[in-house]
C-alpha cells in the first residue's frame, strides 16, 4: 500500500469536543486535511516541540527521545496505519543497529515524537478517504503554529495590559510551573509586540 506524507498544519481547540484539541494534518501533495482530536496534555506536548520551547524539566516525550538517543534508536517515520471505530492508530518505525522495528503507539504520542525527531508522518489512502476533509475555498497554506484559545475578559490570556518586562517574568514562571499552554500564549503576546527576539 502506498503511503501518503502528511505535515502538521494546525493545532487548535476542538470545535466538536470541549476540553479537547484538534491537530490538523495536511496532505503534502494534495488538498486533504486529516483532523485528529487529542487531549490537552498531548496538545501541549506537540505545541512545546513545535514552538521549540525548552521546559525546565523534560516532558515525557522529551525523556523518551533522550532515551532513544542514548541507545542509538532513530525514529525513521510515523505511520497512521488504521482507524477503528473512529480511533486512529499509529506505528513508530524505528531503527537500531540496522534493525527496523515497528512499535504500536497512540497517534497523539506518535505525533509528539515525530515533531521532536523531525521525522516524516505518513498515512494511507483509505484513511484519508474515510476521515479526510477538503476545506472549500482554502488557498494553499504553510503549516501554522498552535492557536491559543479565544480571549475572554478577565481571563489569564488577556495580556495586553502587561509590560514586556512583566510578560517576560510571567513566561519564566509559566515554564517553571510547566504550564506550557499559558507560556505559549504569553510568548505569542510578546511576539506581537516584537519583544521576544
Domain extents for the chain? 3-131, 148-197
Joined grid coordinates for residue 78: 510515523
Spatial contact of 35 and 55, defined as CB atoms under 8 Å apart: no
Q: Which CATH superfamily is domain 3-131 in?
A: Bifunctional nuclease domain (3.10.690.10)
Confidence (pTM) = 0.69
User: pLDDT tens digit string along 129-156?
Assistant: 999 998 765 544 434 333 443 333 333 4
Give every residue of the chain whose pLDDT is below 70, as ranges. Answer: 14-18, 136-158, 195-197
Per residue in 160-173, pLDDT (tens digit) is 777 878 888 887 78
Looking at residue 137, what is its pLDDT?
A: 58
Amino acid at each position: 500500500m502506498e503511503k501518503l506524507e502528511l505535515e502538521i498544519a494546525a493545532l487548535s481547540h476542538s470545535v466538536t469536543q470541549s476540553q479537547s484539541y484538534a491537530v490538523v494534518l495536511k496532505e503534502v501533495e494534495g488538498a486533504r486535511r486529516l483532523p485528529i482530536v487529542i487531549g490537552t496534555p498531548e496538545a501541549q506536548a506537540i505545541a512545546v516541540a513545535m514552538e521549540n520551547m525548552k521546559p525546565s524539566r523534560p516532558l515525557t516525550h522529551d525523556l523518551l527521545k533522550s532515551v532513544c538517543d542514548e541507545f542509538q534508536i532513530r525514529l525513521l517515520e510515523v505511520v497512521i496505519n488504521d482507524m477503528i471505530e473512529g480511533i486512529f492508530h499509529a506505528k513508530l518505525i524505528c531503527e537500531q543497529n540496522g534493525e527496523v522495528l515497528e512499535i504500536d503507539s497512540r497517534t497523539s504520542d506518535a505525533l509528539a515524537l515525530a515533531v521532536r525527531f523531525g521525522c516524516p508522518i505518513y498515512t494511507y489512502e483509505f484513511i484519508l478517504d474515510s476521515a479526510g476533509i477538503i476545506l472549500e475555498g482554502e488557498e494553499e497554506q504553510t503549516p501554522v503554529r498552535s492557536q491559543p484559545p479565544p480571549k475572554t475578559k478577565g481571563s489569564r490570556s488577556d495580556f495586553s495590559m502587561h509590560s514586556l518586562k512583566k510578560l517576560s517574568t510571567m513566561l519564566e514562571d509559566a515554564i517553571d510551573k510547566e504550564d506550557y499552554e499559558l507560556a505559549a500564549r504569553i510568548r505569542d503576546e510578546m511576539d506581537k509586540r516584537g519583544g521576544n527576539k
